[in-house]
Structure 1
Amino acid sequence: MSPEITNYIGYGASFFVVLSFVLKDIKKIRIVNLIGCILFVIYGVYSDYLWPIIIPNAILCVIQAYHLLKKD
C-alpha cells in the first residue's frame, strides 16, 4: 500500500477516535471507537508493523466488540 494511503488511514483512525469522545449515546461511541481502532490496526500493519499502535488498538477492538455483542 502506498504511504499516502496509509497516512489517510491513520488520519481517518484519529478522526473516528476523536469523534467517539463527542458522542453521547454509548452504543454509538463504541461503534465509532471500534471503527477508529480497526483503522489504527490497519495503519499499524501497513506502517511496517508498529506494534505499540497495533497491540492496544487490537485489544480495544475486542473490548468494544464484546460490549456491543453482549446481552444485557
Structure 2
Amino acid sequence: MLLNISYTEWVGYLASAVLIISFLMKNLSTLRIINSIGAIIFVIYGVMLNISWPIIITNVFILFANIYYLYFNQRKVNS
C-alpha cells in the first residue's frame, strides 16, 4: 500500500492514465500502440481484482483490434 492506496488501485490508475495519454496522440499508429499498452495493463488490473471478466474481455478485444489494424495498416504502407 502506497499513500493509503492499494497496489491494485495504482495499477488501475496507471492503466487509465496510459489510456488517456493514448487519445492525445495525433498519429493513429502511435495511438494504437500506446492504447494497447493501456489495454494490457487493464488486463493485469482485471486479474488483480480476482478475475474481473468484464474488464479482461473488453481489454483483450481492444488489444486484438489494435493489433489487427496495426498489422493491416502496415501491409497497406508496404504495398
- TM (norm. structure 2) is 0.80
- TM (norm. structure 1) is 0.87
Contiguous gaps of at least 5 residues in structure 1: none
Query: Is residue 2:8 matched to residue 1:43?
Result: no
CA RMSD of aligned residues (A): 1.4
Q: Deviations over 1:6-57 (max 9, x none)?
A: 2221111100111111111001100110000110011001111111111111
Runs of 4+ more than 3 Å apart: none
Q: How many residues align?
A: 70
Contiguous gaps of at least 5 residues in structure 2: none
Aligned residues: percent identity? Answer: 40
Bigger relative contact order, structure 1 or 2, given CA contacts below 8 A and separation 6+? 1
Larger radius of gyration: 2
